[in-house]
Amino acid sequence: MKIKKILSDLRLLNNTVESLGEQTDSIYQEFENIQNCETPKCEKEKRRLRQEMGNCINKLKYEERTLDECESKFHTYSGQLI
């Protein structure tokens, strides 16, 4: 894998992780806004938000793992250039 490709992948992964972080913050804020509401409509929305948060967290874990692998490849490859 060429160093330019690795750097491109790192930038893309960083952007994805940042975007997922923003999504989780937004979901958390939405949940906080209805946290004390106990109507059926609110309960349904809380379930949806929990599921959405779980999906974001799972994606975030995967992307962070991929980011770590890519960074490792970068350090390995850049060390060979010296």
**What are 34's two structure tokens?**
């209805």
Q: Could you report the per-residue pLDDT of 33-68, keeping only the tens digit for each?
A: 999 999 999 999 999 999 999 999 999 999 888 888
- Between 1-15, 20-34, 52-66, the lowest mean confidence (pLDDT) is in 1-15
- Domains of the chain: total: 1
CB 78 within 8 A of CB 3: yes
What is the pTM for the complete model shown? 0.75
Judge whether 17 and 63 are in contact, CB under 8 Å. Answer: yes
66: containing domain: 3-81
